[in-house]
Structure 1
Amino acid sequence: MGLEKSLLIGLRADDFRHPLDLQATNTLKQLPGLDVAIRSLLGNVAEQFFYLNNIASSVLVGEKQLPHLHKLLIDACSTLDLEPPQLYVQQNPVPNAYTFAMRGKQPFMVLHTSLIDLLTPEEIQAVIAHELGHLKCEHGVYLTMANIMILAAGLFPNWGTMIAQSLQMRMLEWVRCAEFSCDRAALLAVQDPKVVMSVLMKLAGGSPTLAPQLNLDAFIEQARAYETFSTSEIGEMLKSAQTQQLTHPVPVLRAKEIDRWASSPAYSSLLEKRKTGYNSEAQFKGEWRNW
């Protein structure tokens, strides 16, 4: 990780927020009483469940605990001009990472051990920066509500009235759109689109043994083929049916979006506008500018 990168001083969420994220967020804001309606289902129980489950079964990363991961976090936060949340590592065979922002509590993110085993350090930092994107874009409120709804569906399978199902579909649509913004945050942090696309490729079909054999250029071609399939009406219908119950857009679509944005004048001008050069191998002493 010795490449010269740019500190994006004064970076704002609207500098990189994906248009679909903005549109979906505005749609949710127009739903009256959404926050109250969802929280009234379980009150604070779900929030406490997530928080206690995490601190009871995960390892808190810090300068004295897995310091290499702590450095990746601090480095990404410095680049994105963001105060660092807590970072936990949790034993889990399913590669995943998530962020939770609870009312009145410091936000935290969790990395599964299987994800760490699958990725290179640069790719792990891209995942960390993706999760930081949720905080930078202030996704916390709706992200928490989405987690509560998913938990409620698991605890109470028969709770789904037509209204609840409609809300769940809207929340899932919003989460998928928000992921595009967070992928952009990952790119801004690592400043190499191949790193971000490599993460997506490994999440789609990787394992610790297969990962070194995967071909990123072939995966990008696969992403372009997926986009071409949507040119027909039936293709669009099938893709919509495939994704409407997913919490994330399919990996090939996310890779194509990153490939497109990395080649855009908007991305280049953002780096030029905000950057202050530094070497990521230089010692980072943690002198936060405004905190």
Structure 2
Amino acid sequence: MDIAKTLLIGLRADEFRHPLDFQATQALKQLPGLDLAVRNLLGPVAEQFFYLNNIASSVLVGKNQLPHLHKLLLEACTVLDIEPPQLYIQQNPIPNAYTLAIQGKQPFMVVHTSLIEMLTLEELQAVMAHELGHLKCDHGVYLTLANLFVLAAGLLPNWGTILAQSLQERILEWVRCAEFSCDRAALLAVQDPKVVMSVLMKLSGGSPTLSPLLNLDAFIEQARAYEDISKSELGQLLKTAQTQQLTHPVPVLRAKEIDRWASSKDYQSLLLKRQKEYNQKDNKMGGWRNW
């Protein structure tokens, strides 16, 4: 890599998991049989479906296929201390990336070509690290259910019973909370909050032509303005109504949240702790390594 980064050897998910993610996950675990049903019934079907789709209509990245992208993935995995998933590039005009792993089989990540076209390599690595965060935090079970709910809602807008709709709302709330943890994983991998916030800015209003012209400082000010809306009861009510059917928190909120965590003692202490542990292990091996 061009700049030295702290390697987070032995990193555990709960060391960076967002509190909202932890609370929402614990709430879903209280629903009897949900986890088991997804792992044993829905999970295998979803994994097989996506695997066939990837093999049939995507490009598998490796050392002999788009090696510069393969290198970005391996570097992010090294920093986050996680085994590399398969990486597929898929032709798609909608900028997006997603990952899935449920049954302990080979996990995979998919990145759309339109996303690659408007990001720098470092920003693309942040996207990969975000998806690695889902794997690190074992989000696969509930992500599968969330994707199924979104698919059903798209195909059948008035589908389901009141019970199913209530579960859908809880799952969507969980996945919005889980995204905060994955943004933190992206920050831990690139170790520059401006890179992560730049990705969120470009997802809001970027394109191959506009992305180089966007102003990150102005976007951060926009995020502060969005946060100020919560100070009124009406503003908070409108924000809740706006987001309750979304699978992701709005980008300006995510940018503000990552800016806040990057300035926190928790983030700085985590990097310092892991750097000390890495140096101690390296010294015992008779030297230390750079990359």
Larger RCO: 1 or 2 (CA < 8 Å, sep 6+) = 1
Map 1:236-247 onto structure 2 (within 5 A). 236-247=236-247
Deviations 1:110-129 (A, max 9, x none): 00000000100000000000
In proportion to residue count, which structure has more helix?
2
- Does residue 214 of the first structure (1) align with residue 214 of the second (2)? yes
Deviation at 1:150, TM superposition (A): 2.4
Percent identity, please: 78
- Residue 18 of structure 2 aligns with an amino acid whose one-letter code is H
What is the alpha-carbon distance in structure 1 between the residues aligned to residue 13 and residue 82 of structure 2? 11
- Checking the alignment, whether the CA contact within 8 Å between 1:2 and 1:279 is kept in structure 2 is no
Deviations 1:116-163 (A, max 9, x none): 001000000000000000011111111122222223334555541111
What is the alpha-carbon distance in structure 2 between the residues aligned to residue 44 and residue 127 of structure 1? 26
Map 1:68-217 onto structure 2 (within 5 A). 68-217=68-217
Task: Indicate the residue corresponding to 1:233 in structure 2.
Answer: 233
- Does residue 251 of the first structure (1) align with residue 263 of the second (2)? no
Map 1:245-284 onto structure 2 (within 5 A). 245-275=245-275, 276=278, 282=291
Deviations 1:29-87 (A, max 9, x none): 01112235667986854443222112211110000000000000000000001111110
Between 106-115 and 143-152, report the one with greater CA deviation: 143-152
Query: Once superposed, what is the RMSD of the aligned Cα atoms?
Result: 2.0
- Residue 82 of structure 2 aligns with an amino acid whose one-letter code is L
- Checking the alignment, whether the CA contact within 8 Å between 2:43 and 2:144 is kept in structure 1 is no
TM-score, length of structure 2 as denominator length: 0.91
- Checking the alignment, whether the CA contact within 8 Å between 1:47 and 1:148 is kept in structure 2 is no
Task: Indicate the residue corresponding to 1:289 in structure 2.
Answer: none
Deviation at 1:11, TM superposition (A): 0.6
Map 1:62-73 onto structure 2 (within 5 A). 62-73=62-73
What is the alpha-carbon distance in structure 1 between the residues aligned to residue 38 and residue 237 of structure 2? 30
- Checking the alignment, whether the CA contact within 8 Å between 2:39 and 2:141 is kept in structure 1 is no
Runs of at least 5 residues in structure 2 that lack an aligned partner in the other structure: 280-287
- Residue 7 of structure 2 aligns with an amino acid whose one-letter code is L
Alpha-carbon spacing, 1:6–1:33, altered in 2? closer, same or farther (3 Å)? same
- Checking the alignment, whether the CA contact within 8 Å between 1:4 and 1:279 is kept in structure 2 is no
- Checking the alignment, whether the CA contact within 8 Å between 2:47 and 2:100 is kept in structure 1 is no
- Checking the alignment, whether the CA contact within 8 Å between 1:35 and 1:145 is kept in structure 2 is no
What is the alpha-carbon distance in structure 1 between the residues aligned to residue 41 and residue 79 of structure 2? 39
- Residue 48 of structure 1 aligns with an amino acid whose one-letter code is Q
Alpha-carbon spacing, 1:152–1:48, altered in 2? closer, same or farther (3 Å)? farther
What is the alpha-carbon distance in structure 2 between the residues aligned to residue 40 and residue 85 of structure 1? 21
Alpha-carbon spacing, 1:226–1:43, altered in 2? closer, same or farther (3 Å)? closer
Task: Indicate the residue corresponding to 2:282 in structure 1.
Answer: none
What is the alpha-carbon distance in structure 2 between the residues aligned to residue 242 and residue 67 of structure 1? 41
TM-score, length of structure 1 as denominator length: 0.91
What is the alpha-carbon distance in structure 1 between the residues aligned to residue 201 and residue 170 of structure 2? 27
Give the number of equivalent residue pairs: 281
What is the alpha-carbon distance in structure 2 between the residues aligned to residue 238 and residue 256 of structure 1? 19
Between 13-22 and 33-42, report the one with greater CA deviation: 33-42
Structure 2 residue matching 1:111: 3-state secondary structure: strand
- Checking the alignment, whether the CA contact within 8 Å between 1:99 and 1:108 is kept in structure 2 is yes
Between 152-161 and 136-145, report the one with greater CA deviation: 152-161
- Checking the alignment, whether the CA contact within 8 Å between 2:130 and 2:183 is kept in structure 1 is yes
Deviation at 1:210, TM superposition (A): 0.5
Task: Indicate the residue corresponding to 1:285 in structure 2.
Answer: none
